[in-house]
C-alpha cells in the first residue's frame, strides 16, 4: 500500500522512540496500528461500494440492452404474424369466392355421372 523501504521504516522507528519514549512506544504502536487498520477497513468498504455501484450500472445497462433486443424481436414477430394472418385470410376469401362461383347445376352433373356407372 505504502511504498516504503526498510531505511525509511527504521528512521520512523528511531524518531518515534525519541519522541514518545521507550515506555509508551508499545502502546502508541498498538494504537497507531489499530487506527491504521480501521482506516484500511473503511477504504475497503468504500472500494466495495464503488465497485458494487459500477456493477449495478453495468447490469442495468445489460438489462436495458436485453429488453430493447427482446422488444425489437417481438415487434418483428408480431409484424410477420400479422402478415401471415393476412395471407391466410386472403387465401380463405379466394377459396370462398371460387366455391360460390361454381355452377348450381354442378351437383346435378356429378349425380348424372354417378348414375351412368
pLDDT in tens, 74-93: 889 988 888 888 888 888 88
How many Cα atoms are found within 13 Å in the side-chain-facing hemisphere of 42? 6
Structural domain contains residue 63: yes
Position 68 in a domain:
yes
pLDDT (0 to 100) of residue 85:
87
In this predicted structure, what is the pLDDT of residue 103?
Answer: 56
In this structure, is residue 21 part of a structural domain? yes
How far is Cα of residue 63 from the mean position of the Cα atoms in its chain? 4
Within a domain: 70: yes
Residue 115 lies in a domain: no
Q: Is 1 contained in some domain?
A: no
Give the mean pLDDT of 33-48.
Answer: 94
pLDDT value of position 116 = 53
Q: What is the pTM of this model?
A: 0.43
Q: Is residue 105 part of a domain?
A: no
* pLDDT given at position 53: 84
Complete DSSP assignment for the chain: -----HHHHHHHHHHHHHHH-TTTHHHHHHHHHHHHHHHHHHHHHHHHHHHHHHHHHHHHHHHHHHHHHHHHHHHHHHHHHHHHHHHHHHHHHHHHHHHHHS-TTHHHHHHHHHHH-
pLDDT at 31: 93
| Domains of the chain: total | 1
Q: Range of 85's domain? A: 8-99
Total residue length of the chain:
117
Q: Which range (17-21, 40-44, 93-97) has the least confidence? A: 93-97
Amino acid at each position: 500500500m505504502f511504498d516504503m523501504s526498510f531505511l525509511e521504516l527504521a528512521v520512523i522507528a528511531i524518531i518515534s522512540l525519541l519522541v514518545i519514549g521507550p515506555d509508551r512506544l508499545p502502546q502508541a504502536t498498538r494504537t497507531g496500528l489499530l487506527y491504521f487498520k480501521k482506516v484500511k477497513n473503511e477504504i475497503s468498504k468504500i472500494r466495495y461500494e464503488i465497485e458494487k455501484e459500477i456493477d449495478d450500472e453495468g447490469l442495468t445497462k445489460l438489462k436495458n440492452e436485453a429488453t430493447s433486443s427482446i422488444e425489437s424481436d417481438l415487434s418483428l414477430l408480431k409484424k410477420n404474424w400479422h402478415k401471415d394472418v393476412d395471407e391466410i385470410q386472403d387465401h380463405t376469401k379466394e377459396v370462398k369466392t371460387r366455391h360460390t362461383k361454381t355452377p348450381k347445376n354442378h351437383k346435378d352433373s356429378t349425380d348424372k355421372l354417378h348414375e351412368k356407372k
